[in-house]
Structure 1
Amino acid sequence: MADESASWREVARGMHDPRISERDGDLVDRSGLDDAEVDQVVRVMRSLRGWHETQRRMSEASRRYMKLNETDMRAIRYLIAARNQGEIATPGALSAYLGISSASTTKLLDRLEHGGHIVRAPHPTDRRALAISVTDATRVAARESVGRLHARRFAVAAALTPAERETVIRFLDALSATEPDEVTEPEPDPDQA
């Protein structure tokens, strides 16, 4: 069993190394990089993977603690942010933020209200709209779970020098820009048909 564990770890370590995962080099351009530089890039990619895994585990723990799904948690965070900025949150604004239909927003609000997380009230200036607010109990629970995690992350970023933060910002922005506008299906290989 120990041999299996070591084996899967070695395979997983190689997934980020283009010298292993993409030997022919037709996708990953390694020109101009020596082995030490490729090793460093691989360490960056592994660190990103580690952050993604940590983020996933933290999000799952927060959702379990709050007994909410991911969209519900995003809605709660939005509603808290709106409250903190003195804005009145409406179903339409929440729908736009979450990128979901008004019908889905109504179901979400029904679920959150039934769970004691939100309150719907008449909008103070628009008779056609509702004002949505988070209950005090949910606001406190979110502060104790998500809020404390955010504070730890902020401290890590604050510990960097201004130049280091600019480097991280440039890197993450450039990484975000690698997302394709549209994911396309690969062309079928005529030799495989």
Structure 2
Amino acid sequence: MVPESEPAEPIELSMLDPRVLDPHQEIVRRAGLGDDEVDQVVRVLAGLRSWRETEQRLSEASRRYMKLGETDMRALRFVIAAQHRGDIATPGAIAAHLGISSASTTKVLDRLTEGGHVRRLPHRSDRRSLAIEVTEETRLAAQRTVGRSHARRFEAAARLSPQEREIVTRFLNDLAGTGEED
């Protein structure tokens, strides 16, 4: 019996390879790219997938640790950022940032208040509004989880040369534009 040879590349990578997924170039055009260049593009895509999976795991772990949903975490990050800038976070500003109704914002703030994450205080200059502040315990928890993760991402980007950062920025912006309809 002849032993089967090992595949040339791991299965996971092949699922990103247009030579496997689209061998007849019906969707992905590879004209002018040699196999080495296609291999390099596939490694870039694999790196993006790996980062996305890591980011999702970290985000999920932070939400579980803080016992919050995605919208609640986004609201909390907004309030923390507002406090760092010296701004007052109001329910209206939170609603605008999240793109949700005032009723939905009230529910988010109810959950965050009940969880001990934020306080509703009278606005210092607008009697009709509230000021939303993050509690010290939640600020420290966010700093330990989300803050440290962000610091590592910042350090990775800072290690790039200015030219590399421009290239990566252009690439990521181009990639973000691929989600738009033609």
TM-score range for the pair, normalised by the shorter chain length: over 0.9
Which amino acid in structure 1 is aligned with residue 105 of structure 2? Answer: T
SS where residue 38 of structure 1 aligns? helix
Structure 2 CA distance for partners of 1:45 and 1:136, relative to 1, 3 Å: same
Which residue number in structure 1 is paired with residue 38 of structure 2? 38
After TM superposition, give the deviation of residue 101 of structure 1 in Å: 1.3
Q: Runs ≥4 in structure 1, deviation > 3 angstroms?
A: none
Which residue number in structure 1 is paired with residue 3 of structure 2? none
Question: 2: distance between equivalents of 1:154 and 1:180?
Answer: 27
Question: 2: distance between equivalents of 1:36 and 1:55?
Answer: 28
Which amino acid in structure 1 is aligned with residue 118 of structure 2? Answer: I
After TM superposition, give the deviation of residue 12 of structure 1 in Å: 2.8
SS where residue 165 of structure 1 aligns? helix
Which residue number in structure 1 is paired with residue 15 of structure 2? 15
Aligned residues: 176
Percent of aligned pairs with the same amino acid: 59
Q: How does the TM-score come out when normalised to structure 1? A: 0.87
Question: 1: distance between equivalents of 2:79 and 2:160?
Answer: 30
After TM superposition, give the deviation of residue 26 of structure 1 in Å: 1.4
Which residue number in structure 1 is paired with residue 141 of structure 2? 141
Which residue number in structure 1 is paired with residue 165 of structure 2? 165
Structure 2 CA distance for partners of 1:88 and 1:167, relative to 1, 3 Å: same
Which residue number in structure 1 is paired with residue 116 of structure 2? 116
Backbone CA RMSD of aligned residues = 1.7
Question: 1: distance between equivalents of 2:148 and 2:45?
Answer: 26
Counterpart check, 1:49 vs 2:43: no
SS where residue 120 of structure 2 aligns? strand
After TM superposition, give the deviation of residue 122 of structure 1 in Å: 1.2
Structure 2 CA distance for partners of 1:165 and 1:117, relative to 1, 3 Å: same
9-18 vs 109-118, greater mean Cα deviation: 9-18
Counterpart check, 1:175 vs 2:175: yes
SS where residue 131 of structure 1 aligns? strand
After TM superposition, give the deviation of residue 10 of structure 1 in Å: 4.3
Question: 2: distance between equivalents of 1:11 and 1:43?
Answer: 13
Question: 2: distance between equivalents of 1:64 and 1:25?
Answer: 43
After TM superposition, give the deviation of residue 13 of structure 1 in Å: 2.2
Which amino acid in structure 2 is aligned with residue 158 of structure 1? Answer: A
Question: 2: distance between equivalents of 1:16 and 1:107?
Answer: 41
After TM superposition, give the deviation of residue 93 of structure 1 in Å: 0.6
CA deviations over 1:79-117 (Å, ceiling 9, x no partner): 000000011001111011111111111001000000000
The answer to whether the 8 A contact 2:62-2:146 is kept is: yes
Which amino acid in structure 1 is aligned with residue 153 of structure 2? Answer: R
The answer to whether the 8 A contact 2:13-2:43 is kept is: no
